[in-house]
Structure 1
């Protein structure tokens, strides 16, 4: 049994495929009653309050979104279509395979951990994840994994100008190999970046840039921090630059919080699967 955004997903052991169903969401009255119990319950020690750590928020997905992804993946990849074997026994459903993939991604559990919960074997779980991430990339890459367009870049420039860095497209952190695979940076180095005009200390500039640390080369497209600031002005710039550059670290922190598979050691050894997971 698995709870996902107030939805109970129950897997039954009968052979009839209709026995595998999603139960309806809990009623508003039940949710309200649970909230009252959470806020009014006292600890085991008199006067000790119970901290609501909101454990259910670790990985939640709205039911319509889950069902949409499930449907799209099933249409794209026949591997997720439920079939019957030679004696007419139905195999695993698309729901079981997709949930197995989600649980490995979200919680970072090994593939053989899911047998008791979803009635799915280790090899099938691993295979389902490979097919799932490949299907997600193929279906949604054009919309969600595309290179930023002019409107996106203009918005980035506007936000970064408000933060005190006019002309900044983004920031980099410690790994130049990642930057070299960036669509934005490739366009910038090839002269295909959006037109930018800004003034700093009375000087006009027409090229956008990235914030970077000392590991990066001394290019005009990098604005690096001051490693040993002496004056108050230099110290202020270094603090502001390093604070803004933490965007990348924070982004990966959010990614790891949502998808625990990123935190641990790689459970898959082929580069294609690893790339699709990321």
Structure 2
């Protein structure tokens, strides 16, 4: 435990404990293997239906409907990496040999997934193809969730990730170089919620110094055993201290039994299970659904019915749709005097159009920025059309060289006069 918690060397306490360094290492590995054998099914279990309901409820309170966890990678320095593997485990920006840890964490710093076998030369995209993080989705074993974002149905949960990941429907990434106010607001909230996995990495390294310092073991399998044991102990601490958080959540349920799968007989026909696997794999990597989900998550929602917001009440500091605005501001003569701004139809920022009254007529409005962008696009299109017309005129007025044919005979003056 001292080696895990403080990261001390194996021969630090050999003077008063009277055991050698090899015995200390063997005892530490046996302790880690015992933790994994006894508690892995509880503290590193797969996501079940009860856990999913709790996480989805918390995600909805945080403003991301359908989000279950955050995913990211961490590099662990490997001091005693074998010489034959140094080229594979050394990355240029790190300057030393590292092992990549891929993990998934929820809002309460509970780590649900861990994979530590990838060399340090890989990035987050290459690592994503190796661990079985999406195997349950492709095999159809993941729980299906039906929800609506911006009045559009979705049936697949997603992770919050940084910008390097693929544009999959299972990822919602931040916007690189956001320009509009809506993009900046979405990026701010997305990066704030995505810090759950970064926070979990920091707490894990602070509690177990053996992970914070370079690894001194020779076998990569032993590194995986130590990492899994530390994460199990970390989840134990989270379960014990969860009620002391500023925002309290209910306890997680115990895992259900794990069933066994039987072997399928060999056949040359396409099995329905394989067809479902191909379909699920395609849905998992559909970039169009990813962009639609990201745009829908960016849109401002009505404070009452969660439909797309159309105006902003300055007095109540709330975004409302047309129906909810009519219900709220027709209650009495006082609320009819509330000042409301129309939201832009494209970026949902405040427009110059504002007013008071019991009910607004549904209209489509644009902000000054979107009007300028639209006008610039129209001018560019007009300029392109003019250029095309000019090119067509030039083609029609081209000078064609005289063909190498015999010119017609020149008539004499007498014949001309006679004619």
For residue 12 of structure 2, what is the aligned residue in structure 1?
113
Matched, 1:134 2:83: no
CA contact under 8 A between 1:173 and 1:212: conserved in structure 2?
yes
Number of the residue aligned with 2:52: 153
Q: Deviations over 1:44-70 (max 9, x none)?
A: xxxxxxxxxxxxxxxxxxxxxxxxxxx
Equivalent residues in 2 for 1:7-156 (5 A)? Answer: 102-156=1-55
Alpha-carbon distance change, 184 to 155 in structure 1, aligned in 2, over 3 angstroms: farther
Is 1:168–2:59 an aligned residue pair? Answer: no
Contact 2:158 2:169 in 1 (8 A): yes
**Whole-Å Cα distance in 2 between the matches of residues 269 and 176 of structure 1?**
27
> For the structure 1 residues 136 and 185, does the alpha-carbon distance in structure 2 shift closer, same or farther, using more than 3 Å as the test?
same
Correspondence list, 1:195-206, <5 A: 195-206=144-155
Measured in 2, the distance between the counterparts of 1:194 and 1:219 equals 18
- Of 151, 160, 169 in structure 2, the residue corresponding to residue 211 of structure 1 is 160
Name which one, 1 or 2, has greater alpha-carbon Rg.
2
- Closer, same or farther in 2 for the Cα pair 1:183/1:167, shift >3 Å? farther
User: Per-residue displacement from partner, 1:62-95 (whole Å, max 9, x unpaired)?
Assistant: xxxxxxxxxxxxxxxxxxxxxxxxxxxxxxxxxx
Pairing partner for 2:211 from 246, 250, 262: 262
- Please report how far the alpha carbon of residue 190 of structure 1 lies from its aligned counterpart in structure 2 after TM superposition: 3.8
Higher RCO (CA-CA < 8 Å; seq separation 6+): 2
Following the alignment from structure 1 to structure 2, what is the Cα–Cα distance between the partners of residues 181 and 156?
A: 26
Q: Could you say what secondary structure the match of 2:225 adopts?
A: helix
Q: 3-state DSSP class of the match of 2:13?
A: helix
**Is the counterpart of residue 253 in structure 1 residue 152 in structure 2?**
no
Tell me how far 1:146 sits from its aligned partner.
1.9
CA RMSD in angstroms, aligned pairs only? 1.9
Aligned to 2:141: 192
Measured in 2, the distance between the counterparts of 1:276 and 1:217 equals 29
For 1:143 and 1:257, locate their aligned partners in 2 and report how far apart those are by CA, in whole Å: 23
Following TM superposition, where does structure 1 have runs of at least 4 consecutive aligned residues deviating by more than 4 angstroms? 176-184
Q: CA deviation at 1:177?
A: 5.8
> 1:147 aligns to what SS in structure 2?
coil
Equivalent residues of 2:71, 2:161 under 8 A apart: yes
Q: Distance in 2 between matches of 1:259 and 1:165?
A: 32
Q: Is the 8 A contact 1:268 1:274 kept in 2?
A: yes
Q: SS of 2:22's equivalent?
A: helix
Higher strand share: 2
Distance in structure 2 (CA, Å) of the matches to 1:179 and 1:244: 21
Gaps of 5+ in 1: 1-101
Structure-2 separation of matches of 1:214 and 1:206: 23
Identify, as 1 or 2, the structure richer in helix: 1
TM-score (norm 2): 0.40
After TM superposition, the score normalised by the length of structure 1 is 0.59
CA distance in 1, matches of 2:205, 2:162: 23
Once residues 116 and 177 of structure 1 are traced to their aligned partners in structure 2, the CA distance between those partners, rounded to angstroms, is: 46
| Alpha-carbon offset, residue 181 of structure 1 | 6.3
